[in-house]
Each structure stands twice: as structure tokens, then as C-alpha cells.
Structure 1
Amino acid sequence: MRRLPGSALLLAAALLSGCASQQTSAPRAPRAALSSEQANDIAIHALGLVGTPYRYGGNTIEGGFDCSGLIGYVYRSRMGAAPPRTVAQLSDFGDPVATRELRSGDMVLFGHGRPTHAGIYVGEGRFVHAPSTGGEVRLDRLDGPYWSRQTLKVRRL
């Protein structure tokens, strides 16, 4: 097995450290909007996954989730169609929504410039997400000390 030079290892680690890939092609969401009932079902399903282990690239309950894998799993199981796999693609999926119009089931995306993290809004200022290596899917507040400092984008299917 060939060993990589130190700089190549650092580059590989940097590429794998974030939740989001930098792929740029993104399909659009289906034009049929989710009903309020479907949106609430998505939020309830996401809440049921709190405590599932984080795993980079993960998209199953058995294997764990990263942030975009969690979103794909929940939307696929409740809508029958999966959104794109990466946060970069999710940032162009569905329709943009003003933050003051957030509703359960909306995707929340974080990051300055191009988003690098995402979750599912579940109401009352809270969202479910898979935050980081060694962690697990959890419920956090948008107005919490860390998340309130992040740029927030909202997308709705």
C-alpha cells in the first residue's frame, strides 16, 4: 500500500471534515408543495431520530447519519422522494423561504456564503440535525449561542 505525503493527508482530512460536499449541480424540488400534514409528519419523524449516532456519509438508522443523510432519509421515508445528497445541492433545492415564515418540515441551512450544514425545522425555534463526528442526531435551538451566529437559509419543498 502506497503512503500519501503529509500534505496529501492534510488535504484529504480537510475535504472529509465538513458535512457538505462542494458539488454544484442541484436538481429542483418537485413543484407539488408539501401539505401542512406532510410537513408536520416530517418534523415528527426527524424528532424520532434524535440519539442516532453521527457518521460521515451516513444515511441509515443502522449506520448513522450525517446532516444531509438525515434530511434525505426523513424526506425519502415520508415523501417517497429524496432530496439531493449534499448540503451544497440542498441549498438550491426547493423554494427559498423567509426566516420569519419558518414552519415545521422546512430545511434549515447554515454557513457564511455557501451553506455547510443543514437540519430540519421542527417548530418553536428548534431543529433536528446530525452535528459532528462523535456526536449524535440532536435537537437544538436556532437562537442558541452557536447557531444564532450562523447565516441561516430556509428551503421548503
Structure 2
Amino acid sequence: MRAAEPEAAPRTTSQQGAQAITVAPETATLVSAKISASRKAKQKKRAAAAVKYAYKQIGDPYRYGGTGPKSWDCSGLAGGAWRKGAGVKLPRTTQQIYRAVKYKVSWKGAVKGDLLFFYSGKSHMGIYVGKGYMIHAPSSGKRVKKIKLTGYYKRNFSGAVRPGY
């Protein structure tokens, strides 16, 4: 006797304007949670402020546990940029930030200000600044810098979030 094959996960269709969008169940809540145009505009403005703040930190030294203003670790930089630049308070560690920010995004869906996470334990993060670049505090002995997101980062990508809603 053959075992029954598992059913494919159901897909949800949502109407957005005149287009029908089909999404997987795990992302259905993002589409169905209607975000007003004014909230989107406010988030975009906050993201721009966070990115602007992050740019000003380029060259500052990395320090484990650093939350600024003169030295940073990766989550301290992201939290500082969103808090001081955009007025949005985030938790302290990479894992806490990922769990706390409910709006999750994909690698291809990332926009300026999104927080990108790397490695299986989400142990490193950076701030996406657009056009395939991010700003991050890399590791001990190094400084905050803007880098091109290469194949290495894509292979080690483990998620992204969009704060500010």
C-alpha cells in the first residue's frame, strides 16, 4: 500500500488594487495586513533617516557590545541608526531584533533601511542602503563600512525585516 502524498500548502489570493496576487501562506499575513499609504510613507521617511545616520558612522571602530556613539557592534549600529536617526527603538541583539520586527522581507524584496541577517543563528546583521550595498560593523579590529552584497552574503543570508511600522 502506498503512503498518501502530502498535500501542497494552500495558497492565498489577495486583491490589491486591480491585480490579484497569489502568495504562500507564510507571507499571506503581510499582504492581507493592509498598510495605509500614510504609514508606508512614514516608514520610508524613517528608513531614510536610519540610513543617513548609518552613513555618518562609517569609519567608527567595531567594539563587541558597542552601542555608540563612537564604537559599534552590528546590532548596536542597526539599533542606533533606527533609534537615533529614525526614532524607532529596537531590542539589543540580532536575534531579538529579528523576532521583534514583524514585517519580514525577502532578499529580493529588500529596500533602503531594511535590516539584513546572516548565518543560521542570525548572528550578524547590516542595514541595507540600496543598490546592492549594506552598512555594517564587521568584527573586532575592523571599522564600520559600506560593502557590496556579494555571493558570499547571499549564500549566508538568513532573513530580513523592515522596522518602522
Correspondence 1:156 to 2:162: yes
Instruction: In structure 1, give the amino acid aligned to 2:135.
Output: V
Which residue of structure 1 lines up, in the alignment, with residue 137 of structure 2? 130
Specify the SS of the correspondent of 1:92. helix
- Give the alignment of 1:79-90 within 5 angstroms: 79-90=86-97
The equivalent of 2:55 in structure 1 is 47
Change in 2 beyond 3 A, CA 1:141/1:111: same
Distance 1:37 1:88 in 2: 25
Write the mapping of 1:2-151 to structure 2, written as runs, cut at 5 A: 34-62=42-70, 64-94=71-101, 95-112=103-120, 114-142=121-149, 144-151=150-157
TM-superposed CA distance for 1:37, in Å, is: 1.9
- Structure 1 distance, partners of 2:160, 2:154, is 14
Give secondary structure in 1 for the equivalent of 2:108.
helix
Q: TM-score, normalised by structure 1?
A: 0.72
Name the Cα RMSD after superposition: 1.8
Higher RCO structure (Cα 8 Å, ≥6 apart): 1
Secondary structure, counterpart of 2:104 in structure 1: strand
Distance 2:151 2:110 in 1: 20
Structure with the greater alpha carbon radius of gyration: 2
State whether residues 114 and 161 of structure 2, in contact with CA within 8 Å, keep that contact through their aligned partners in structure 1: yes
Deviation at 1:91, TM superposition (A): 1.7
Contact 2:50 2:85 in 1 (8 A): yes
Deviation at 1:127, TM superposition (A): 0.5
Query: Which structure 1 residue ranges, 5 or more long, are not aligned?
Result: 1-30
Percent sequence identity over aligned pairs: 34
Provide the rounded CA distance (Å) in 2 between the counterparts of 1:81 and 1:37. 12
